[in-house]
Structure 1
Amino acid sequence: MSPLARRALHPLVLGVFVLLSAFHTWPLVSHLKGYVLGGREDVYMNMWHLGWMRQAVWLQPQNPFFAPLLHWPLGAELYWHTLSPAKTLWGVVLLPWMPVETAYNVVMFGSFVLTGYTSWLLLRYLLERAGHGPWLAAAAALAGACVFDFSRYHLLHATAHLNLSALEGLPLYLYCFFRWLDEGRRRWLAGLAACALYVLLCDYYYLVYIALFSLLWVVAERWKRGPLVSLDTWKDPLVRRAAAAGLAAGLACVPPIVPLLLHAFPAPLQIHHGDSDYFADLYAFFIPDTQSAWMVSLPAKVREFSLDIVRTKMSTNAEETGTFLGWVTPLLAAFALWRGVPDGRRWLGLGLGFAVLSMGTVLNIGMEDRLSPVVLLLGITLGVALVPAWRERVWRRDVLLLLAIAVYLSWAEPLTAFGQPLKVQIPLPYVVFKHVVPLFSRGGMPVRFVLLTMLSLAVLVAFAAAHAGAWASRWDARLGVAVALAVAVVPNVEYRGLLMSMPPVPQLPPVFEEIRDAPMPVAVLTDNVQGQWEQLFHGKPVSYARLSRLPVRESALVDSRLIRAAEGMRSAFTPVPPEEREEMRRFLKEHHFKWYVTHLFHPVRHRFIEEELGGELVHRDGYVTVYRFH
């Protein structure tokens, strides 16, 4: 392939991913203005982030990690929060030219295009390094990139989480990481450091992901060469380059990490989720989620299973159910392993290992976490069968036969205790992992480790496409490229979803112009994240802040009766003593709260605002109810 043709591939691949991204996120590109992808509460929060970053970085330069206009009068700390500066900084560039919802839609769409392109870069390099020709490698890499880019994980999180949808930095980091290990050129060291910083500024946990992945890769490579603990370990060029990579990435990430550490104690409150709320069910790897296009044609029991995950385990967070690996896609990975993949067992081990971590603290099968011990016995049997084969040693056939008989007998005659079928919880590695790896005991989400499983799956599918193309190339090289491209159809079909939800952005009534034009000092009491989003339009401080983790210093304000009543919490509407009533009214006056904006009218709250706080109803429609304080 000529240098000119290699350069021409890059815009071509970008164009392909523009089209594929439009297909998978449809009707996003036709509803850029006046509508917003997903429409969940996190989406309104992220739109506010775009406007805030423009104000803090460009219009009125200040610390972007402290927002004085939220949680008024305290202000809101945004350190341990999903601010995602690498994405929300686009507000500085985009908002002068387009509405905030359009800017958000463009940034989200761009994440799909960039993730596809960076995944393609990584996979093409791995294929060419393995000896595949440039044209075949470019085509086969496209198939693997579609697995990672359009995974159910990515498509579902795109409906709510800007930070978790920013996947483009992970494959780009690994691209630089592998090239640094292979070539030792300084530009790749600088590249991996810059990518690590970018990943950190997208999502804090993704930095831990790539650090963990890099460590495991280097340990496995060193183990293949010799003992991990020996005098020769430090002399190994691989170990030295890995150490340099860790040092460079660590130094690049120091500026944003230092403020995090300074605000880590006392530990922020986990107000939205704990450390192990959401997990992957074993069945859910092979049963589509509720937003998959396959759900409309699957049996009723399969649809009910996915609905039960959302209803009983994931609450309203349907995006956490994006663990579907596909049916044919895993078979392509198995085909690649059969034909041969450089470091194939390592990619398989990493993929399976992260899948196990994604299953949380205990094993769940079919939404049940109390299982027959025969499941554990079966797992031990498989371990005894597979581990010797993995390490290329002789199977212990006598032990394996004994275990197989025990499994059969246990299956044929259910195990009981005190006359009842015995059910146990089977602990998984994550129960230890979250206490060993920093940060995961403060809100880690095990189910999201499936992202790294998808990355390993993407590598194996890329090699499957390359092997299929190499077979066809025996007749014609162009046919081989076509076959490799045809493999890309599989993940695009298996992972496609229903039409993306694109609810319209609310039209604000004229009362917001009155709030906007009111002379300062004026503040707005409000009840949810839409009130935070409205702050972009009226520009006045608001009482609400949607925070991933709540700093302890802000908890007293959030727990006060006034704020709890504003946010509609039932515990706030008990009888109010006269002295407390006067205290709440004095607080409103001292901090210039002139308006209360609520997005849910309720008679109890209405009486509380009028009788206890002295509010006057000035506007009410299907979207919002507004009161004025005198």
Structure 2
Amino acid sequence: MSSLPRRVLHPLVLLASSLLSAFHTWPLLANLKGHVAGGREDVLMNMWHLWWMRQAVTGLKNPFFAPMLHWPLGAELYWHTLSPAKTLWGVVLLPFMRVETAYNLVLFGTFVVTGYTAWLLLDYLLRRGGFEPNLAAVAALAGACVFNFSRYHHSHAIAHLNLSALEGIPLYLYFFLRWLDEGKRKWLVGVALAALYTLLCDYYYLLYIALFSFLWVVAERWRRGPLLSPDTLKDEGTRRAGVAALVAGLACVPPVVPLLLHAFPAPLAIHHGDSDYFTDLYAFFIPDTLSGWSESLPAWMQEFTTGVVRGKMSGNAEEAGTYLGWLTLLLAAFALWRGVPNGRRWAGLGLGFAVLSMGTVLNINLTDKLSPAVLLVAATLVVGWAPAWRGRTWHRDVVALLAVCSLLSLRTPLTAFEQPLLVQIPMPYVVFKHVVPLFSRGGMPVRFELLTTLALSVLVAFAAAHLGRTMSARGAAAGLGVALAVALVPNMEYLGKPMPMPQLPRLPPIFDEIRYAPMPAAVFTDNVLGQWEQIYHQKPVSFARLSRLPVREAEMLEQRIFRALEGWNGLAGEVTPEEREEMQRFLKDNHFRWYVSHIYHPMRHRFVTEVLGGELAYQDNYVSVYRFP
């Protein structure tokens, strides 16, 4: 069978990616207007990002400083998930459609483009591995489905536009590996542009690809000799990797410099600490609560997945999307058995990042206090599997001894002072976060599972190619059909529930009064809904939903009026006449004419009316609006 021309193949892959993305995100395309994918508070913030990027670009303003948030001070958006590579689409789309429609389309586009860039990488690896072009193209589609429709991607799509933008990672690796293999200048240009694009999607993803590249090059150097050797600097692969790092670094200088200039004093990680979310060992093998299979699980599995979200993930279901599958993992094992170029490297990187994703201590079945028997089991597996030790005279005896000790320790609990001995088992991330820059300032270990999924996608692509090659003895069409059938495995195992598409609130007529009021006029508000409402009324607001809070803004938010109207801390206690006068003067001097509250409480109502002198102008189940004199 003759190979399809590349100019035909690429549109076909984009079409297939579009159709599969429509299936996995349904009913997104059927609810583009008046509804928004996910509906979480981060989604409301991301819609504001699209609107703000249009305001900044068309008004020739700095997009990383929003004077109309945290009024009257303004909000810095440097250490914030602004994701310019995605939100710049607001400049193009918003003149022609509503902001929620634009957001839904941009989110949908992350699935379409991720499928295509993952296919580019995998198709290249398969053709480099000696597979026939048509078979490589079809098998690469199977692997691309693993990465694109992973539970990680599905889960973050309901909340995090920046983390849903996965397309830059395989695109960068495609250019990086081609540059290492061929040394052509066009691939080096691709490395630089892909690194910059990845950075503009999410800052941490740049660190991910840098770490992946470094480990890849180290492994490649070890294959030819020791790393600490004079020959390392003479090695062509090492030199090319150094050039790639230099060029990618230079390309990323413009957006990185402002980050560094605003890194001190360190912004406050108000939403996530340095190691909040981690993967439980069971979570690799049990579908999460957002999975289409979650309601079909046995009761104990459903209880586990619910416990992960409520207990370990603090209600953030998107962080629990670490399920790797069962048949998908078997396909990866099959590929390693049949042979994958650099297969041990891909498997090692995948396992390594899975271990990092487990956070600072090992968790099994929602427990971080474990029997030391776990260490014995791990030692048995490592010694038994380690290729370097196979064939040694002592290998079989040591493995047998370790296996017996493991079985006995599992059968009879290990004790100390007549009590079961339970310990916390530290994991590599506890050291990693202090060695690798920036991860101690809010790195999320659980998200390293994404790179495990990337390695898994490579192995599955080779599994599909091997199965297709075996069946091609019966005809080329049969081989392609089998390779395509492999794609059904991840598409079914990673199937999610229908994309939640809640309807956006309909703003009451009081917002027309705010919109058409002459400037200067500002709105005090209490949460991210008030920030989203700014898209309509376009008046300065007191609130800003920020990933990390600059210290200068934190000082303003500590004022009692902010603590009372945004939260509850400032409501209790006596208000002196001096405090009352000071707060009323603050409202008047900064032109706050309305207070929009989305959580009604009698104490807050009394505070606004009796202390601040506001009057209730409108109230319904959605909002309470007060006017200030």
TM-score range, shorter chain: over 0.9
2:616 is aligned with 1:614: no
Q: For 1:244-259, what aligned pairs fall within 5 Å after superposition?
A: 244-259=243-258
Q: For 1:370-381, what aligned pairs fall within 5 Å after superposition?
A: 370-381=369-380
State the shift of 1:3 in Å: 8.1
Amino acid at match of 2:330: L
**For residues 394 and 548 of structure 1, do their structure 2 counterparts lie closer, same or farther at Cα, with a shift above 3 Å needed?**
farther
Aligned to 1:36: 36
State the shift of 1:129 in Å: 0.2
Q: Provide the TM-score with structure 2 as the length reference.
A: 0.98
Aligned to 1:162: 161
CA distance in 2, matches of 1:387, 1:56: 56
Q: For 1:322-361, what aligned pairs fall within 5 Å after superposition?
A: 322-361=321-360
CA distance in 2, matches of 1:71, 1:359: 36
CA distance in 1, matches of 2:550, 2:509: 35
State the shift of 1:344 in Å: 0.4
CA distance in 2, matches of 1:574, 1:198: 51
CA distance in 2, matches of 1:171, 1:529: 33
CA distance in 1, matches of 2:3, 2:83: 37
State the shift of 1:403 in Å: 2.1
Aligned to 1:88: 87
CA distance in 1, matches of 2:327, 2:232: 41
**For residues 30 and 483 of structure 1, do their structure 2 counterparts lie closer, same or farther at Cα, with a shift above 3 Å needed?**
same
Deviates more, 1:552-561 or 1:158-167: 552-561
Amino acid at match of 1:29: L
**For residues 516 and 394 of structure 1, do their structure 2 counterparts lie closer, same or farther at Cα, with a shift above 3 Å needed?**
farther
**For residues 152 and 580 of structure 1, do their structure 2 counterparts lie closer, same or farther at Cα, with a shift above 3 Å needed?**
same
| SS of residue in 1 equivalent to 2:252 | helix
| SS of residue in 1 equivalent to 2:625 | strand
Q: 2:354–2:448: 8 Å Cα contact kept in structure 1?
A: yes
Aligned to 2:518: 519
Q: 2:557–2:563: 8 Å Cα contact kept in structure 1?
A: yes
Q: 2:571–2:607: 8 Å Cα contact kept in structure 1?
A: no
Question: Between the two proteins, what is the percent identity of the paired residues?
Answer: 72
State the shift of 1:297 in Å: 1.3
Deviates more, 1:277-286 or 1:553-562: 553-562
CA distance in 2, matches of 1:82, 1:3: 43
CA distance in 2, matches of 1:2, 1:549: 55
CA distance in 2, matches of 1:298, 1:119: 30
| SS of residue in 1 equivalent to 2:5 | helix
Q: 1:385–1:395: 8 Å Cα contact kept in structure 2?
A: no
Amino acid at match of 1:57: V
Aligned to 1:276: 275
State the shift of 1:8 in Å: 0.3
CA distance in 2, matches of 1:79, 1:601: 33
CA distance in 1, matches of 2:146, 2:411: 40
CA distance in 2, matches of 1:19, 1:215: 35
Listed as ranges, the gaps of 5+ residues in structure 2 are none
Aligned to 2:137: 138
| SS of residue in 2 equivalent to 1:573 | coil
Amino acid at match of 1:16: A
Aligned to 1:26: 26
Q: How many residues align?
A: 629
Aligned to 1:8: 8
| SS of residue in 2 equivalent to 1:269 | coil
CA distance in 2, matches of 1:384, 1:212: 27
State the shift of 1:604 in Å: 1.2
Amino acid at match of 2:517: A
**For residues 478 and 279 of structure 1, do their structure 2 counterparts lie closer, same or farther at Cα, with a shift above 3 Å needed?**
same
Aligned to 2:294: 295
Q: For 1:540-579, what aligned pairs fall within 5 Å after superposition?
A: 540-579=539-578
Q: 1:388–1:395: 8 Å Cα contact kept in structure 2?
A: no
CA distance in 1, matches of 2:35, 2:563: 30
Q: 1:345–1:390: 8 Å Cα contact kept in structure 2?
A: no
Any idea what the Cα deviations from partners look like across 1:211-239, whole Å, max 9, x if unmatched? 00000000000100111111111111101
State the shift of 1:264 in Å: 0.5
**For residues 398 and 390 of structure 1, do their structure 2 counterparts lie closer, same or farther at Cα, with a shift above 3 Å needed?**
closer
CA distance in 2, matches of 1:8, 1:393: 53
State the shift of 1:536 in Å: 1.1
| SS of residue in 1 equivalent to 2:193 | helix
CA distance in 2, matches of 1:530, 1:275: 27
Aligned to 2:509: 510
Q: 1:573–1:608: 8 Å Cα contact kept in structure 2?
A: no
RMSD over aligned Cα atoms:
1.3
2:439 is aligned with 1:440: yes
2:439 is aligned with 1:421: no
Q: 2:274–2:442: 8 Å Cα contact kept in structure 1?
A: yes
State the shift of 1:406 in Å: 2.2
Aligned to 2:125: 126
State the shift of 1:412 in Å: 2.8
Q: 2:266–2:551: 8 Å Cα contact kept in structure 1?
A: yes
State the shift of 1:435 in Å: 0.3
State the shift of 1:173 in Å: 0.4
Q: 1:136–1:480: 8 Å Cα contact kept in structure 2?
A: yes
Q: Provide the TM-score with structure 1 as the length reference.
A: 0.98
| SS of residue in 1 equivalent to 2:69 | coil
State the shift of 1:407 in Å: 1.7
| SS of residue in 1 equivalent to 2:593 | strand
